[in-house]
Structure 1
Amino acid sequence: MDTGTHVLMGVALGSLASLDPVIAHDPLLSHAVLIGALAGSQVPDIDTILKLRNNAKYIRNHRGVTHSIPAVVLWPLLIVGVMIAVYPDTDWLRVWLWTFAAVAFHVFVDIFNAYGTQALRPFTKKWIALGVVHTFDPIIFALHLLGIGGLFLGLHPGYMFFAIYVLVAAYYALRFRQQANIKRLVRASLDGVTEIITVPTWRPREWHLAISTDNEFYVARAKRGHLFILDRFQKRPLPDHPVMNAAKRDENVAAFLSFSPVYRWEMNEYDDYYEVRFTDLRYRSKGYYPFVAVVQLDRNLRIVSSYTGWIFSEGRLRKKLELAPN
């Protein structure tokens, strides 16, 4: 989920803690639990700082180690360890439990969008992305805002957010049902479908789709129960070619390939250099595919320039490649 929604979820968990009478009748403990829940709801995304290094580091690691099983255990211990200096005399078991719940809940809700997480590390580095809600879902956000509004109206925070989360759970169930209907529609419309990747939009009735068949990729949109095919590409395995093999050793390309499950590639030869481009097919926007990896190599197959990330025009991509270090 987006940062704003994670913040609201931290408030929600801190409010749910008031269902425990020990917490409800101890203002200092209530405050400590709320701070722990807010910190726990944010700390897994600390890896966003990797953007300051480069996009390759960010793509390879965002929602990776920081969202893993060991991290879910360690983050609450670190947060509570820092908080002891501020709240030296309180019920630390309860603070730890609600902080742990906030960290675990952060990782849990992140698996439901198309980006996903590596939540099962260290057992597997596979990305778990269920693709049923958008990274920013306006309905989930609005339900949490409704709960925050109830706090200002003096409603019981625990009961109120319990009711809110019953509605959130029902909404998730509805989204899974919508997704299942879309997958049935795709399989009824296309032959030989092997994989369907659903990418929800912030519009509740509109979904982007990346569909694999035995021999082709389809990029499509599902809207109000109808399927619209937008693009169609032949499946081509990566060739055992010197240019491609050199391109795959580039840091940006390697990061892209470690993350993207469905992509097409192009290899072009120019007067004095080669260019290899990889395009993620999940994220089509206004006829353009903004998530790419591009590498340029000289005639001796030395990497001249490369880039990976989100880019929304060819001109902007060219500028990025010009600025990229040799």
Structure 2
Amino acid sequence: MDTGTHIVMGIALGGFAMVDPAVASHPVTMTAVVSGVIIGSLAPDVDTVLKLRDNAVYIRHHRGATHSIPAVLLWPLLIAGALSLVFPEANLLHLWLWTFLAVFMHVFVDIFNSYGTQALRPISNRWVALGVINTFDPIIFGAHVLALMIWAFGADPVWTIGILYLAMFFYYIARFAVQGAIKSAVRNTIPGATEVFVAPTMRFFHWRIAADTDRHHYVGRAYGRTINIYDKFMKKEMPENNLIQAAMKDKNIAAFVSFSPLYRWEINEYGNIYEVRLIDLRYRSNDYYPFVAVAHLDKECKIINSYTGWIFSEDKLKKKLDFSHN
């Protein structure tokens, strides 16, 4: 989820913590727990700073180690330990328990995005992405803000947040139902589909779709159970030549491949420069595929420059690569 949603989720969990007598009856513990759950709701995303280094490192590691099983166990210890120094009279056990729940909830809700997390590390490095909730979901965010406002106007926080959580439970069930119906509609529209990717958008009934058959890639949108196919690409096996082998060793290309399950490739030649481009098919936007990895190589198959990330125009991509086709 986005940072704003994690914040309101943390505040809401702080309100629900009043169900615990050890928290509700002790003001210092209450303050420490509310602080702990808000910090815990944000802590796993500390790896966002990796974006300052470069996109390849960010793509490979964001929602990786910081969302893993060891991290879920370690974050609460660090946060509760630090807060116990600030609030020495707080009940440390209950501070740790609620902080642990906040960290766990952060990782848990991220699993429902199409980006996903490596929440099973070190057992498995597989990305767990259920793809039923958009990174920013206005209904989830709005429902939390509404509940927090009702609480602020004097309503009982336990009952208010409890009702919110019940509503969210049924909302998630509805999202799974819609996703299942769309996947079924895609398979009916594209006979022989071997893989179907359905990604949510901010609109409840609008979903991105991408599908594979033995011979083609298909890209489109779903509006309810109505499937519109916008692009159809012939599948081509990637050659195993020196150019491709060299490109695949580039950190940006390798990061892209480690993250993207459905992409097509292109090889272009501009004078003495070869371009290897990988294009993720899951994020089509306004007739453009913005998530790409590009490497430029010389005649000796040495990397000149490369890039991976979100680019919404060819001009911006050229600037990133510091390269002109002229």
TM-score w.r.t. structure 1 length?
A: 0.97
Q: Which residue of 2 aligns with 1:98?
A: 98
Per-residue CA deviations over 1:38-97 (Å, capped at 9, x if unaligned) read 011000000000011000010000000100011000011111121121011221110001
C-alpha distance in 1, partners of 2:255/2:194?
25
Q: Once superposed, what is the RMSD of the aligned Cα atoms?
A: 0.9
Percent of residue pairs identical = 54
The residue identity in structure 2 corresponding to 1:318 is K
C-alpha distance in 1, partners of 2:188/2:224?
16
1:107 lines up with 2:107 in the alignment? yes
Cα deviation for residue 224 of structure 1 reads 2.8
Q: Which residue of 2 aligns with 1:217?
A: 217
What is the correspondence of 1:46-195 to structure 2 with a 5 Å cutoff?
A: 46-195=46-195
Where 1:109 maps in the other structure, the secondary structure is: helix
Q: Which residue of 2 aligns with 1:10?
A: 10
Cα deviation for residue 159 of structure 1 reads 1.2
Shifted more, 188-197 versus 281-290: the winner is: 188-197
Per-residue CA deviations over 1:99-158 (Å, capped at 9, x if unaligned) read 000001000000111111111111111111111111000000011011110121111111
Contact 2:280 2:289 in 1 (8 A): yes
Where 1:29 maps in the other structure, the secondary structure is: helix
Q: Structure 1 stretches of 5 or more lacking a match?
A: none
Cα deviation for residue 187 of structure 1 reads 1.2
C-alpha distance in 2, partners of 1:321/1:82?
44
Where 2:85 maps in the other structure, the secondary structure is: coil
Contact 2:22 2:94 in 1 (8 A): no
Cα deviation for residue 22 of structure 1 reads 2.1
Where 2:22 maps in the other structure, the secondary structure is: helix
Q: Which residue of 2 aligns with 1:227?
A: 227
The residue identity in structure 2 corresponding to 1:102 is A
C-alpha distance in 2, partners of 1:154/1:27?
18
Cα deviation for residue 237 of structure 1 reads 2.8
Cα deviation for residue 37 of structure 1 reads 0.2
1:282 lines up with 2:282 in the alignment? yes
Where 2:132 maps in the other structure, the secondary structure is: coil
The residue identity in structure 2 corresponding to 1:115 is Y
Q: Which residue of 2 aligns with 1:267?
A: 267
Length, aligned pairs only: 323
The residue identity in structure 2 corresponding to 1:43 is A
Contact 2:114 2:130 in 1 (8 A): yes
C-alpha distance in 2, partners of 1:82/1:238?
52
Q: Which residue of 2 aligns with 1:246?
A: 246
Contact 2:22 2:91 in 1 (8 A): no
Cα deviation for residue 270 of structure 1 reads 2.6
Q: Which residue of 1 aligns with 2:321?
A: 321
Where 2:86 maps in the other structure, the secondary structure is: coil
Cα deviation for residue 303 of structure 1 reads 0.6
Q: Which residue of 2 aligns with 1:204?
A: 204
Where 2:277 maps in the other structure, the secondary structure is: strand
C-alpha distance in 2, partners of 1:22/1:249?
55
What is the correspondence of 1:3-42 to structure 2 with a 5 Å cutoff?
A: 3-42=3-42
Shifted more, 98-107 versus 78-87: the winner is: 78-87
Where 2:278 maps in the other structure, the secondary structure is: strand
The residue identity in structure 2 corresponding to 1:272 is N
Where 1:132 maps in the other structure, the secondary structure is: coil
Contact 1:192 1:213 in 2 (8 A): yes
C-alpha distance in 2, partners of 1:24/1:237?
62
Where 1:284 maps in the other structure, the secondary structure is: coil
Where 1:74 maps in the other structure, the secondary structure is: helix
C-alpha distance in 2, partners of 1:85/1:21?
22
C-alpha distance in 2, partners of 1:74/1:131?
27
C-alpha distance in 2, partners of 1:44/1:17?
20
Contact 1:19 1:159 in 2 (8 A): no
TM-score w.r.t. structure 2 length?
A: 0.97
Per-residue CA deviations over 1:186-206 (Å, capped at 9, x if unaligned) read 111111111111111101110
Shifted more, 302-311 versus 17-26: the winner is: 17-26
Shifted more, 230-239 versus 51-60: the winner is: 230-239
